[in-house]
Structure 1
Amino acid sequence: MLSRQTLFWLSRAYDLPGSDGRFLRAVRDNCAYHIKHCPEYRAVCQAEGFSPDQVQTVDDLAKLPVLPTLFFKRHHVSSMPRWRLSFEVTSSGTSGSFSRVGFDWGCVLAEVPMVLRLGFYHKLVSPRPANYVILGYKPGRQDKMGVARTMFGLTHFAPPLSRFYALRWKDGGYVPDLEGAARRLARCARSPFPARIVAFPSYLWFGMQQIEELGLSMRLPRGSKILLAGGWKQHYAQEVDKPRLYALAERVLGVKEEDIHEFFGAVEHPVFFNTCKKHHFHIPAYSRVIIRDVRTLEPLPMGEVGLVNLITPLINATPVTSVMTDDLGYLTPGEDCGCGLTAPFLTILGRAGLNDITTCAAGAAELLGKGEMP
């Protein structure tokens, strides 16, 4: 399916108008593939009277059948036999329901150049080795969590000298080691090589607070970065604004605001969203976002708050062309940002309140809550 490669090998990573034609062709081909190979998706399309040839303009993307992420947490659907998959990931690994999303080899060949292109654009790629401290799960055969894969993937933008994980698998479960993480950061501060911290924002905030309360601080080497993946999840009531988080990182770790990067994505939508220098999530050419009314699901204009609908033709193995998240957000014209990008940017406000969804971050938070800082 060359239309997918043609889109994801696009060099102009934020040129939405210039990529519209490629995006629409890839979406039509992707939908046609799922209709042919996935009975459940075909039934949904037939029930809605949808066919791929209805997608001729960007506005027509709203006609795509929208499957909520909750659907994938309760039903396993596939457009490809398992033996043809490159790998499979899940959205949660500790408790509750979870999505299972398969990745085909064509997806991998499209995803790698996308990640590298955006990594270079945002100056994440460096030939200088780094020591990594990951406030998250250590990947292994015992789980297939997408968040573990994402965090592990982020350790490849600079050659890893070492990787330390705050959550490790032991005796059938994950065991937190926050004390070890603090010790490793202290060692990183004495190293001539930069450090890179990969973490959920909430874990970083709580960890740095405890370090500061103990009267401790450290200065990580020049070139060190903080890479934040995911949101505040069930800690949304304790969420702090970004300036406070960045200020604490500079006080406690010596990492300046320009060296803090945030990422947004989902197992069901593994497109690389990275904040710009103004800390906004501009939509890359490999994705489109529709904000929908929470009651009618009709598309909303720029600036209005609703449910976030994510669209990409990246995956053939699972019918996730158009998925509805349980996130509330809104879009803003790119020109309002001031970073130079003209692509609209997405602001996530929080979860819509689906209590029966347990996320990977929620499960990890429970585990990390059992640990104590030194």
Structure 2
Amino acid sequence: MKEPFHLEKTEKEIILLEKLNELSELHFNACEAYSKMIKKSEQEIIAKSIIDVPFLPVQLFKSMELKSIPDEEVVKVLTSSGTSGQTVSKIYLDKNTAISQTKALVSLMKPVLGEKRLPMIILDTKSVLKNRKSFSARGAGIIGFSNFGRKHFYALNDDMTLDYDGLKKFMDEFGHQKILMFGFTFMIWKYVFKKLKEQRIKLDFNNAILIHGGGWKKLSDEAIDSLSFNQQIKEQLGISEIHNYYGMVEQVGSIFIECKEGYLHSPSYADVIIRDPISFENVRNGVLGLIQVVSELPRSYPGHSLLTEDLGTIIGEDNCKCGWKGKYFTVLGRIPKAEIRGCSDTFQEGE
């Protein structure tokens, strides 16, 4: 893939719209459930603009089996994160979709991490990859980002305690050079930051780049936003560079990475749209609304245009001080009770 943040608005819309229309037609013909829902909702299958590309509410993946490939072509099934008893999304990948998503992630992270693989600390437990029930967004994230590292060290023991001895050994060997740290936001906060703070232990990861995402709802309950998270993590761990990212298992590979100015950016192969929570009409920049994500990557399932349960605001496009092109935006959090009625009900009736 080419550079992920080089396309300006006009060129990007032409290229991306063509690919999104191709996917809409592909899924309309290959996925019966998708076809029925599009007909029921009376959306045009070929859109004249990205805003008009037919979308599905993301929570449909929790109640329906949506795929555009025969069962024998499924090579991987990903599930969304969820607490015990919750229904999870199931996302079906074929070989080509899985490869495309991996390539896209590699392209996306190059501007942040460079070309070389870095010694890597995973702020999680290795057992999350052994338990198939927990091989969800968390496990998929670890596998995906592990591609950017080498000499992988899992910093948490199976009981979620920090492996101080192993961490010290790793830092003695690699601490003098740039290292990559990866983890899920809430996991880092609860099992690393809080534990170190309770024990009054400060660590020095001055050469580290931390990539993290997910779990913001739990942190917002503690009144912790991205700015305060970064400040406290830097103070406790001494990390020099921190990048949050926004993404979901329903569109894995299409993640939106935080730039040095603190904004999330849409890459050339994906985009964001903000819609009014009641009317679902597109709103102007600066207005808070529901986040819709579109991506050219999902070919094995109809996940190329999804209305999420998250609230966000587009700040601008092509003019961020960081130099990256594309829309840049912020995410406030999930809508209360996270249920998009009306739109979702229409799709369910059409099944």
Q: When the two structures are superposed, what TM-score results if normalisation uses the length of structure 1? A: 0.80
Matched residue of 1:198: which SS? Answer: strand
Cα deviation digits, residues 162-200 of structure 1 (max 9, x gap):
3316375xxxxxxx32243x4443443333345533222
The residue that corresponds to 1:360 in the other structure is: none
Secondary structure in 1 aligned to 2:5? coil
SS at 2:170's partner residue? Answer: helix
Pairwise CA distance, 1:125: 4.3
Which residue in the other structure is 2:171 paired with?
189
Give yes or no for the alignment of 1:17 onto 2:10: yes
Give 1:77's aligned residue. 66
CA distance in 2, matches of 1:84, 1:278: 42
- The corresponding residue for 1:223 is 207
Alignment of 1:74-113 (within 5 A): 74-92=63-81, 94-95=83-84, 96-113=86-103
Structure 1 residue 45 displacement after superposition: 1.7
Between the aligned residues of both structures, percent identity stands at: 21
Letter paired with 2:144: G
2:194 is matched with which residue: 192, 202, 209? 209
1:264 partnered with 2:249: no
Per-residue deviation at 1:355? 6.0
Aligned residue for 2:345?
none
Residue 336 of structure 1 and its aligned partner are, at CA, apart by 5.9
Amino acid at match of 1:215: R
Letter in 2 for 1:249: I
Q: Which residue of 1 aligns with 2:268?
A: 285
Q: Would you say 1:146 and 2:137 are equivalent positions?
A: yes
Distance (Å, rounded) in 1 between the aligned partners of 2:83 and 2:224: 26
User: Which deviations, in whole Å up to 9, do the C-alpha atoms of 1:113-154 show, x marking residues without a partner?
Assistant: 322222111225434433433368621362341221112221
Tell me the CA shift for residue 241 of structure 1.
Answer: 3.4
1:361 — aligned with what?
none
Q: Any idea what the Cα deviations from partners look like across 1:331-374, whole Å, max 9, x if unmatched?
A: 011466421224221210011022689xxxxxxxxxxxxxxxxx
| Match status 1:162 vs 2:152 | yes
TM score, norm. by length of structure 2: 0.85
Alpha-carbon distance in 2 for matches of 1:250, 1:273: 22
User: For the residues of structure 1 that align with 2:75 and 2:228, how far apart are their CA atoms?
Assistant: 41
- CA root-mean-square deviation: 2.5
Q: Any idea what SS the aligned residue of 1:101 has?
A: strand
Contact 1:281/1:345 (8 A) holds in 2: yes
CA distance in 2, matches of 1:26, 1:117: 18
Kindly tell me: are residues 63 and 244 of structure 1, through their superposed partners in 2, closer, same or farther at Cα, counting changes over 3 Å? Answer: closer
Contact 2:313–2:330 (CA under 8 A) maintained in structure 1:
yes
Deviation, structure 1 residue 300: 0.7
Which aligned segments of 4 or more residues in structure 1 are displaced greater than 6 angstroms?
Answer: none
SS in 1 for 2:37: helix
The one-letter amino acid paired with 1:154 is F
Q: Number of aligned residue pairs: give it.
A: 333
Aligned counterpart for 2:222 among listed residues 235, 238, 262: 238
Q: Quote the offset at 1:314 in angstroms.
A: 1.2
Identify if the C-alpha distance between structure 1 residues 12 and 70 changes in structure 2 by more than 3 Å, giving closer, same or farther: closer
Q: CA separation in 2, counterparts of 1:118 and 1:71?
A: 28
8 Å contact from structure 2 (residues 290, 307) kept in 1: yes
Q: Give CA deviations for 1:289-335 in whole Å, capped at 9, x if unaligned.
A: 11111111111111111111111131122111211111011101146
Gaps of 5+ in 2: 341-351
**3-state DSSP of counterpart to 2:38:** helix
| 2:292 counterpart of 1:309 | yes
Q: Is the 8 A contact 1:119 1:125 kept in 2?
A: no
Q: Is 1:133–1:185's contact at 8 Å kept on the other side of the alignment?
A: no
SS of the residue 2:149 aligns to? coil
- Which piece of structure 1 moves more, 88-97 or 196-205? 196-205
Asked if structure 1 preserves the Cα contact closer than 8 Å seen for 2:184 and 2:212, the reply is yes
Distance 1:136 1:353 in 2: 33
Other-structure match for 1:252: 236
2:82/2:88 contact within 8 Å kept: yes
- Aligned AA for 1:69? V
AA partner of residue 322 (structure 1):
S
Between stretches 148-157 and 137-146, larger displacement belongs to 137-146
